Copies of this chain bind each other. A is one copy, B any other.
Amino acid sequence: MKYELYYWPEIQGRGEYVRLALEEAGAAYVDVARGARGSSAMMKMMDAQGTPPFAPPFLKAGKLVIGQTANILLYLGSRHGLAPKTEAGKLWVHQLQLTIADFVLEIHDTHHPLGPSMYYEDQKPAAKKRTAEFWDERVPKYLGYFEQLLDGHGGAYVTGRKLTYVDLSLFQIVAGLRYAFPKRMKAFEEDIPGLVGLHDRIAARPNIKAYLASERRIAFNEQGIFRRYKELDN
């Protein structure tokens, strides 16, 4: 069975957390919306009767259609050795992924504090205020939490010696913050040596390294979650 991933074709976005898990696992999948007529296939799935997803990303696994990034990872984690085998362990890494999902939403809100339907250009002053608060309060809180977990479990991966999908997502968070806020992130990185090390270890894993060098990895850009706006990075 080949998985079918449905997500906007132009951005990494929330689909990227799923792509990284599929790539690390070496799972066979099609990135449907990036193919010809793929976007309309995606919209059709969302208009379906029964159990249509609210928004992409969603994953088709045989007859199952699974929506919500963290939910997809919950499913993939068990099947591809990217999560602990015990119920307690599964709940724990899922909890961490949901905390990352909250952080991702706050990252998005730095450039869209007045809501997702208005253009960035129409909410610049609010974006500046929100971004200042984000770097003063939220980044230290979220990344400080994960740094402490990493440190407390030996430093290799967030849960200890075994990689989970949460580590892959944290790689993406570090890479994304570096892209969007090069100046701010550079200054902040000395506070999170563990996460920086984790980022580098993930980037060096053979499957991830091959993925990042391939055209399957969409480049960061100003339509995604992580956007580089000079005026927000100072």
Q: Which chain B residues border A152 with CB–CB below 8 Å?
A: 49-50
Q: Write 17 A-B pairs (CB below 8 A) sorted by A numbering.
A: A49-B152, A50-B152, A54-B99, A54-B142, A54-B145, A63-B88, A64-B88, A66-B91, A66-B95, A67-B95, A67-B99, A68-B95, A106-B115, A113-B114, A115-B129, A126-B126, A126-B129
Tell me if A133 is interfacial: C-beta within 8 Å of chain B: yes
Give, as a whole number of angstroms, the nearest-CB distance from A108 to chain B.
Answer: 11
**In the bound complex, CA of A199 to CA of B213 (Å):** 51
Which 9 interchain pairs have the tightest Cβ spacing?
Answer: A115-B133, A68-B98, A117-B137, A54-B99, A113-B113, A67-B95, A68-B95, A114-B129, A126-B126
Report A's interface with B, CB cutoff 8 A: 49-51, 53-55, 63-64, 66-68, 70-71, 74-75, 88, 91-92, 94-95, 98-99, 101-102, 105-106, 109, 113-118, 123, 126, 129-130, 133-134, 136-138, 142, 145, 152
Q: List the B residue with the shortest CB-CB distance to A63.
A: B88
Question: Oligomeric state, in number of copies?
Answer: 2
A90 to B: closest C-beta gap in Å: 10
How many Å lie between the Cα of A64 and that of B92 in the bound state? 9
- Residues of B within 8 Å of A94, CB to CB, are 68, 71, 74
**Which residues from chain B contact A67 at a C-beta distance below 8 Å?**
95, 99
- Give A5 Cβ to nearest chain B Cβ, in Å: 15
Chain B residues positioned under 8 Å from A106 (CB to CB) = 115
Contacts known (A114-B126, A118-B133); A64 close to B51, Cβ less than 8 A? no
| Most chain B beta-carbon contacts within 10 A, residue among A71, A105, A138 | A71
